Structure 1
């Protein structure tokens, strides 16, 4: 099981709730699709029992310190795009500011799953046989709903949950 989140926007309460539920579900990896925002949130993410992979979002500020503080506890920074293989599935991880890029990646045939954020709205769709997952916003700042997603890699089944 893979945990997915995005747009945590410095909300320590939301990050703590997400980390708790990911640990309870015993996920093997967590993918963060950008907009962590400030490095000080690293301490909350350190409590994850799973490997954390993350990309930068359009609101991430001090990228050098984000990189340093997160990599200090073993998180893996993918830059602006992650080309990952986890539990046997090919995953593209990005924030998703450019919709044309998200769609192009999805229809390329190079990935089983595209994980994106940015819109703050949870969505699961299929494009040319590729599963496109937006877990919504962990922070709840725009929609009033704090959500994360779980991906069953074996079944390519996704569920979005409120945290």
Structure 2
């Protein structure tokens, strides 16, 4: 399982609870699209999960910025994830960012709005904010191997921290037809 988070915005902890906390603890890989805000929040997140692949966001402290890159590529579940907090140019800018890194998925944050948008060649995934939704639904994302295993790939869900399903999407496996 791959768990995806963004926009924690905390001065002292990970702010994970319910199904969001369970997903972070049980995931094989955790991706975070930035804005932990404090080093304490980053360290609390790291203490709750296995491998954490994160980037820094615009609201992160200097200490967090020193520890995390602005962008990174993560390979997991047979897919390539390009991770950033935000990009100028909206969906087009994010898609270009993904294409330039040969990504299947672009994980981003900043808007606090959970959403999955399919473009011609990359999925744009914002898990939302599990802790500080700012007028949006709180959210995080989980990707798991497709149950039918017919063509490989992953099934994705954006969930509320209590586990309520908000949105579903599918990602073809490496080399599978879209």
User: TM above 0.5, one fold?
Assistant: yes
Separation in 1 of the partners of 2:39 and 2:65?
6
State the shift of 1:10 in Å. Answer: 0.5
What is the number of residues matched between the two proteins?
151
Select 1:129's aligned residue among 118, 121, 127: 121
Deviation of the 1:132 alpha carbon: 1.3
Which of residues 90, 103, 106 in structure 2 aligns to 1:111?
103
Selected match of 2:156 from 155, 158, 161: 158
Cα 1:126–1:41 shift into 2, 3 Å: same
1:96 corresponds, among 86, 89, 95, to 86
Residue number in structure 2 paired with 1:27: 27
Q: 1:6-45 alignment to 2 at 5 Å?
A: 6-10=6-10, 12=13, 14-17=15-18, 18-23=20-25, 26-45=26-45
Stretches (4+) displaced over 6 A: none
Shift in Å, 1:58 = 0.6
Per-residue CA distance 1:23-70 (angstroms, 9 max, x = gap):
2xx211110001011011134213324210110101111235862xxx
* Contact 1:109-1:128 within 8 A present in 2 as well: no
1:79-121 residue CA offsets vs partner (Å, 9 max, x unmatched):
0111121232111000014224313124558111110111110
Higher relative contact order (CA 8 A, sep 6+): 1
Residue segments in structure 1 that go unaligned for 5+ positions in a row: 68-76
- 8 Å contact 1:106–1:128 — kept in the other structure? no
Change (3 A) 1:65 1:106: closer
Whole-Å separation in 1 of the counterparts to 2:77 and 2:106: 15
The aligned residue for residue 61 of structure 1 is 61
Higher-Rg member (1/2): 2
Q: TM-score, normalised by structure 1?
A: 0.80
